[in-house]
Structure 1
Amino acid sequence: MPVRTIRIIMNGVTGRMGYRQHLVRSILAIRDEGGVVLRDGSRLQVEPILVGRSEEKLARLAKEHQIAEYTTDLDEALADETAAVYFDAQVTTERKKAILKAIAAGKHIYTEKPIAESVAEGRELADAAAAAGIISGVVHDKLFLPGLLKLKRLIDAGFFGRILSVRGEFGYWVFEGDLQPAQRPSWNYRAEDGGGILLDMFCHWNYVLENLFGRVEAVTAKAVTHIPERWDEQGRKYAATADDAAYGIFELENNIIAQINSSWAVRVDRGELVEFQVDGTEGSAVAGLFGCRIQHRVRTPKPVWNPDVPTTEDFRAQWEQIPDNTEFENGFRAQWEQYLADVDAGARHPYDLAAGVRGLQLVDAGLQSSNEGRRVAIERLDA
């Protein structure tokens, strides 16, 4: 079968996420295995063009991974008519102007989220992409996690009956940087640089809730900065101006209530760094990144509250683990392959810039709720 090649401008892949997940584990993995296998059996090979601010870092990555082209000049890369796709993994504050340039150059767009710093900016990007007729995609990596794929299978099979509620716990302790180096970049904790866990994670929670359970209709949230001072990559103390924890109650379609805690100031006492418990009339499930445990109605125990007698039941042992009865590939790579196949076919990608705008809507509503101390309804957008 024939092999075609698609050239991808990749901006921001010297950062941790852009490098590890998008460049190495997605695009280079696809390249080294001969390209994306399409439905007709043909292959779509990928060829990255690296863009960034540091020529030294780009040169090192290009040499290490046998990448032919790199540049610190985005305009030069966008002027290359042989490159069809522009990918953005920069800090959020730099994203809008770069994507608008790429759209003007006629490139298809694939981007990390948040897609912009506000709903208005996000709508500007979505409208520009629609007017240009290009295919846009926004990273929805958590939908491709093995645990959530198993959860989706349960939903599609009607396992839960009527879904009542969703409870999510996400986060871990990010070191302040004095005792030992922080495992996240310092800009994450500066609002002026686009940091903040609500801005970061509510975009994720919107697409998880929307695609698994239903549209978010209202939110009550509280964003806080638990750790007011941190130390940056050079060991310098700085004021943490962005929230490092966000607690949200989300009202969904079909009268489903979701509660999700997101925190970089919590120590983990659960099976995985993120877990979602879904309770329904017929059964419940707890899904993480990889695992998914279930308890059906007929297997549900009947505990009795008695504070005078120690609990002897091992409640966690009463759940059943769903087996890994299929192969799950890296979630970032899986969506890259789906997006590139859509570009090759000229088909709309389901997780597009309009979906990114809805994520920003939830961010804005969450921040408004936190600042004003009230429930905020979310307007339905047709885009």
Structure 2
Amino acid sequence: MTRRTVRIAMNGMTGRMGYRQHLVRSVLALREQGGLDLGDGTVLWPEPVLVGRREDALREIAGRHGLAHVSTDLDAVLADPAVDVYFDSQVTSAREASIRKAITAGKHVYTEKPTATGLDGALELARLARRKGIRHGVVQDKIFLPGLRKLKRLVDGGFFGRVLSVRGEFGYWVFEGDRQPAQRPSWNYRAEDGGGIVVDMFPHWEYVLHELFGRVVSVQALATTHIPRRWDEHGRPYGATADDAAYGIFELDGGAVAQINSSWAVRVHRDELVEFQVDGTEGSAVAGLRHCRAQHLSATPRPVWDPDVPATEVFRDQWREVPDDTESGNGFKAQWELFLRHVHAGTPYRWDLLAGARGVQLAELGLRSSAEGRRVDVPEIVL
């Protein structure tokens, strides 16, 4: 067995998502399992290089996990020929320029989304990556979660017949920060820093809908700021300039309609923080992060509307759990494994910077739809 080291410059690891999901639960988890076995006698050994602005924070993380390499000089890290891959989990407003530097330096790129603050920038990154001949990927973690993998299995097996509609509910109450600390960083609520739930979540909905049901061909959205005043990490009040809730209707190629509500100002009354209900001519299913329940046409009850008579049916009991067919681990780690295989073994990989640009496009057009109060077509983009 040959061990091959892949050195990964990881930018943004002092943030919640970068540290927990990408460093600890993905890259370090790969090291804990002995590396990534490529199946040809080669094991990839990921070696993180932590990059950021605060050297003391980087060194604290490195010391906690026994890592050797930290730097506050991104240019120097990208100039190092030993660095193979650049990963970006910074705030949105800083991402585009850093990715452009990495591509120019000839590094393979894997990044969180959105890839840029606007479609023009996102497309330019995809074009630059193609010209440089580097391999590139964008995090699209939701489709690697157990619940949505089960849902895709139903779609691929023809369970639904013709899909009619998709209804999604996402969100939870993010505390304002005065009486209880907020669960999200304050920049999420400042548009000038790249914040807003449309920019954050519409790229997710684009790839979920695209992957499972078809391309989004139009969007009608209402974005709003329900909580206009919040408190930052230092206890200082500030005015929220970004949307914290969005209500979207998406027409899909093929005629299905998706309606997805996204909110950081909603209290949870569902089984999981995100749930999708899919209704088709032959069956329906409800999927969350981990679970998926289905009801076939042959087992569909015959409810009758009568507001004067108490309901005697327990409707939830009429759905059947879709079983696991494979062992599902962390969705972020699963996609890291696929991307590293793509980089070093050339295996197919379609979740690239062009796919990331589609997510940026949908967010941009969703905000335009909300501002103009109308439905907006979503043209297909090609490089």
- Does the TM-score normalized on the shorter chain lie above 0.5? yes
Paired residues of 1:220 and 1:366 also in contact (CA < 8 A)? yes
Whichever residue aligns with residue 380 of structure 1, its letter is E
Q: Deviations over 1:290-345 (max 9, x none)?
A: 00000011110000000111112100111111123421010000000000000002
How many equivalent residue pairs?
383
Within a 5 Å distance, the mapping from 1:258-337 to structure 2 comes to 258-337=258-337
Correspondence for 1:133: 133
Paired residues of 1:135 and 1:348 also in contact (CA < 8 A)? no
| Displacement after TM superposition at 1:141 (Å) | 0.3
Within a 5 Å distance, the mapping from 1:1-383 to structure 2 comes to 1-347=1-347, 349-383=349-383
| Displacement after TM superposition at 1:145 (Å) | 0.5
Counterpart CA distance in 1 for 2:229 and 2:107 is 41
Percent of aligned pairs with the same amino acid: 66
Counterpart CA distance in 2 for 1:103 and 1:297 is 50
Counterpart CA distance in 1 for 2:75 and 2:361 is 30
| Displacement after TM superposition at 1:234 (Å) | 0.7
Counterpart CA distance in 1 for 2:132 and 2:356 is 18
Paired residues of 1:164 and 1:255 also in contact (CA < 8 A)? yes
Counterpart CA distance in 2 for 1:325 and 1:249 is 32
| Displacement after TM superposition at 1:348 (Å) | 5.2
Moved over 3 A (4+): none
- List gaps (5 residues or longer) in structure 2: none
Counterpart CA distance in 1 for 2:87 and 2:279 is 38
Q: Secondary structure at the match of 2:77?
A: helix
| Displacement after TM superposition at 1:213 (Å) | 0.4
| Displacement after TM superposition at 1:347 (Å) | 4.7
TM-score by length of 1: 0.99
Q: Secondary structure at the match of 1:308?
A: coil
Counterpart CA distance in 1 for 2:69 and 2:316 is 52
| Displacement after TM superposition at 1:42 (Å) | 2.7
Q: Deviations over 1:106-161 (max 9, x none)?
A: 10000000000000010111111011000010000001010000001111111111
Q: Secondary structure at the match of 1:64?
A: helix
Whichever residue aligns with residue 221 of structure 2, its letter is A
Q: Deviations over 1:67-126 (max 9, x none)?
A: 110011101111110111000000011011111111111100000000000000101111
Counterpart CA distance in 2 for 1:171 and 1:114 is 18
Counterpart CA distance in 1 for 2:274 and 2:150 is 15
Whichever residue aligns with residue 176 of structure 1, its letter is E
Whichever residue aligns with residue 268 of structure 1, its letter is V
Q: Deviations over 1:258-277 (max 9, x none)?
A: 00000000000000000000
Paired residues of 1:9 and 1:77 also in contact (CA < 8 A)? yes
Counterpart CA distance in 2 for 1:22 and 1:294 is 32
Counterpart CA distance in 2 for 1:119 and 1:353 is 11
Counterpart CA distance in 1 for 2:39 and 2:256 is 37
Whichever residue aligns with residue 381 of structure 1, its letter is I
Counterpart CA distance in 1 for 2:167 and 2:41 is 41
Q: Deviations over 1:149-175 (max 9, x none)?
A: 000111111111111110000000000
Counterpart CA distance in 2 for 1:7 and 1:150 is 34
Q: CA RMSD in A?
A: 0.9
Q: Deviations over 1:194-228 (max 9, x none)?
A: 10000000000000000100000000000000001
